[in-house]
Amino acid sequence: MKVGDRHYRTIWLDEGEPSKVHIIDQRSLPHVFKVETIVNVQEMTVAIADMHVRGAGLIGAAAGFGMYLAARAAAIEGHNFSQELHQAAKMLLDARPTAVNLAWAVQRQLDAMAQGQEVADKVSIAYQTARLIADEDANHCKSIGIQGLSLIKDLSKAKKGKPVNILTHCNAGWLAFVDYGSATAPIYAAHDTGIAVHVWVDETRPRNQGARLTAWELQEHQVPHTVISDNVGGHLMQNGLVDLVLVGTDRTTYTGDVANKIGTYLKALAAKDNGVPFYVALPSSTFDWNIKDGVAEIPIEQRDGREVKYIQGLHQNELKEVLLTPPESKAANFAFDVTPSRLISGLITERGICKASEASILELFPERKQ
């Protein structure tokens, strides 16, 4: 997507120096646009754990590039290649537990490299695979945009062209993927084809990915939007002010349960209570084909309570962090929750839209049938 006049992805290999990966450091957005250079898997792990990069698809792509950097370093240093690679894999996997794309990308790299004979081959394979993961992610998101566009078109027709009000939670925008985004892809597609849309942006505490990242994306793309606190969605739905809820996911079971940013479940309950369609957009890399019961089985990341007690923002043109609570108060920071499939109207994937049920998902992905 464009930032100002220039097209960016969220992560890319340096054109001249294949030892360098560039990322947009998302921690300082929307106030400062900063590109960071990553030169080894240790730095990539920190970038993932400390959320310089975040979001289902981008974490996967970052892990893919991280494994490539690890392979490259292990080859150059000449130690035990396989051992170093598995150490790197473990380090990456520990960085964030809930998003399945991370584990998926690491495993994909290990499987791909296993096909190479020589260390040099393995490094080339890792290079190719990292690029492939990133390209696939961007392409899948682009397809999600086309698939989801039909939903928004229908709502727009039903409203006789009046703006379609879409509520989204967290950032499932292009910043959460390599490009386009999942939940935002249909919104950009609709806006670009001249359909009137308006987005209610949940600020998404505690890290405010909505207020910081989704609002910034929409602002850059000139999509009409309004930032709201996470508490507001229920009231809006009760009063007919939301036509569609559209969110992303960090892990979706093959039965249709959806782990997404903490608070998603509450919006799904409100959508159900008010008959508002609730859709989840995801590239198929976000499916977990091994988990049946999302609430019972998906591991939920707990982050430092500090992220709840302190918040960063702009004060007189400088980024400052302020304390929000009594200094002595404890804070808990569960990063995700699970929305049971019964609350979900449908899933928007790169292959089409399906119901949040095992049968419907497997109809779109028949190769996963056992």
- Catalytic residue ranges: 250
37: CB partners within 8 A, 6+ apart: 14, 20, 21, 22
244-247 and 164-168 strand pairing: parallel
Which of 45, 168, 184, 204 binds a copy of itself (CB under 8 A)? It is 204
Of residues 286, 305, 266, 304, the one with CA closest to residue 347: 286
Selected from 55, 181, 233, 248, the binder of a copy of itself by CB under 8 A is 233
Q: How far apart are CA 117 and CA 125, in angstroms?
A: 11
Is residue 3 close enough to count as binding a copy of itself by CB under 8 A? Answer: no
Asked if 332 touches a copy of itself (CB under 8 A), the answer is yes
Query: Toward a copy of itself, which CB reaches closer, 37 or 226?
Result: 226
Residue 282 is classified by DSSP as -
Dihedral, CA of residue 352, residue 61, residue 45 and residue 16, to nearest 10: -160
Number of residues counted as binding a copy of itself (CB under 8 A): 66
Pick one of 18, 299, 334, 359: the residue that binds a copy of itself (CB under 8 A). Answer: 334
For the beta carbon of residue 90, count every other beta carbon within 10 angstroms: 10
Instruction: List Cβ<8 Å contacts ≥24 apart for 32-36.
Output: 32/319, 33/3
Q: Check if the beta carbon of residue 280 is closer than 8 Å to that of residue 344.
A: yes
Amino acid 101 reads N
Q: Rule CB under 8 A: is residue 228 a binding residue for a copy of itself?
A: yes
- Our finding on whether 312 is near a copy of itself (CB under 8 A) is yes
For residue 362, state whether it binds a copy of itself (rule: CB under 8 A). Answer: no
Q: Is 119 in the site for a copy of itself (CB under 8 A)?
A: no
Residues 6 or more apart in contact with residue 215 via CB below 8 angstroms: 30, 201, 225, 227
Candidates 136, 137, 179, 230; binder of a copy of itself (CB under 8 A) is 230
Asked if 83 interacts with a copy of itself (CB under 8 A), we say no
Segment interacting with a copy of itself (CB under 8 A) among 10-18, 19-27, 82-90, 198-206: 198-206
Nearer CB in complex with a copy of itself: 8/289? 8
Please pick, from the candidates 124, 333, 357, 360, the single residue that binds a copy of itself as defined by CB under 8 A: 333
Among 293, 215, 219, 227, residue whose Cα is nearest residue 254: 293
Task: Confirm or reject binding of residue 262 to a copy of itself (CB under 8 A).
Answer: yes
| Amino acid in the structure at residue 287 | F
Q: Does 277 bind a copy of itself (CB under 8 A)?
A: no
Q: Which residues of this chain interact with a copy of itself, rule CB under 8 A?
A: 30-31, 200-201, 203-206, 208, 211-212, 215-216, 218-219, 225-236, 238-239, 261-263, 265-267, 269-270, 273, 295, 300, 305, 308-315, 320-326, 328-334, 336-338
